[in-house]
Structure 1
């Protein structure tokens, strides 16, 4: 019976840890910009539930969203997915 209790506790602890992960609370437009090569982008700031602020950039007419700048490996097709990734990483 103690094995079942340990397994249940582990499952609950895992669920609790994921529910307390930082989540985006707002995404605010910051500015439009252009790289030295002439590529347009838009800069945003994501505010997370843990109090941190993380930059996002939008590329290809807002079809590609990256945590940080264009050199970032963390890019998504949707703004909310990129914002969630940004808060999770912070």
Structure 2
């Protein structure tokens, strides 16, 4: 029983520590504006993450829709911070 408790406790602590080490956004910087092939305007941003990597974000509909990647991306969120976190996680 003690062994099972130790294994479960170790697994939980390992999972929590891995989550704490995940990259997090440290800054979001505006880069440029653009117009899509369909005539819709968008803005390009750069997310800097705690792991030292940079990822692009694209804002649509007056910053009501935030997409990870360039203007062709489908991975979108309603909130800037959610999209930035998703980008830093590499999704």
Q: TM-score, normalised by structure 2?
A: 0.94
| Partner Cα separation in structure 2 for residue 17 and residue 6 of structure 1 | 17
Quote the offset at 1:73 in angstroms. Answer: 2.4
| Partner Cα separation in structure 2 for residue 8 and residue 32 of structure 1 | 50
State the Cα deviation string for residues 13-71 of structure 1 (Å, max 9, x = none): 00000000000000000011111321100000000000000000000111000001233
SS in 2 for 1:89: coil
- Stretch deviating more after TM superposition (30-39 or 80-89): 30-39
Residue 15 of structure 1: aligned partner: 16
Give 4+ residue runs of structure 1 displaced > 3 Å after superposition: none
| Partner Cα separation in structure 1 for residue 11 and residue 47 of structure 2 | 32
Q: How many residues align?
A: 90
Q: Mapping of 1:1-90 within 5 angstroms?
A: 1-89=2-90
Q: 5+ unaligned residues in a row in structure 2: which ranges?
A: none
| Partner Cα separation in structure 2 for residue 40 and residue 59 of structure 1 | 7
SS in 2 for 1:14: helix
